[in-house]
Amino acid sequence: MKRAIYPGSFDPLTLGHIDMIERSSKIVDELVIGVLHNSAKNSLFSLDERVSMIEEMTKSIPNVTVGSFDGLLVDYMKEIDATIIIRGLRAVTDFEYELQIAQTNHVENPDVETVFLTTNLQYSYLSSTIVKEFASYGGDISKFVPSRFVDRIYAKYNISK
């Protein structure tokens, strides 16, 4: 069985993330969405909120589960018996960074392979950072995130729409 992980902070979950989840779930037997808990980062949403939001959006995809981890991805992969990492590439600049991480993970655990998927052109500009920037100023984020999360994101900035 091919078990893959799509890791990230997902803070917040974007339509680009959803697209990657849907596409990658079709090429592996099981896809684990690994939500990173990074205590050094000041997250907009708590770890539990991020996990819950992803579960909400993926409940109709039978081979997708959601978990959380902190520490090294390769260590978490051993815990869940995954050997494939799914990463999305938006631009050439993503590739340089992602290649270094993929090679490091492979050195750490030679059984780990990284699969790069290019993002859908529709979302090639999109990142959680952009969503947070727009939302913090009350900008329209309806084209960036699932509609059910728009008000939750604005609420984090005490903005009502």
Enzyme catalytic residues: 17, 41, 90, 128
Query: Are the C-beta atoms of 85 and 77 separated by less than 8 Å?
Result: yes
Q: Check whether the bond before 146 is cis (ω within 30° of 0).
A: no
Query: Are the C-beta atoms of 60 and 81 separated by less than 8 Å?
Result: no
Select from 134, 132, 127 the least CA-distant residue to 44. Answer: 132
Neighbouring CB atoms inside 10 A of 135's CB total 23
Neighbouring CB atoms inside 10 A of 51's CB total 18
Retrieve residue 157's tokens: 């900035």
Q: How far apart are CA 31 and CA 86, in angstroms?
A: 9
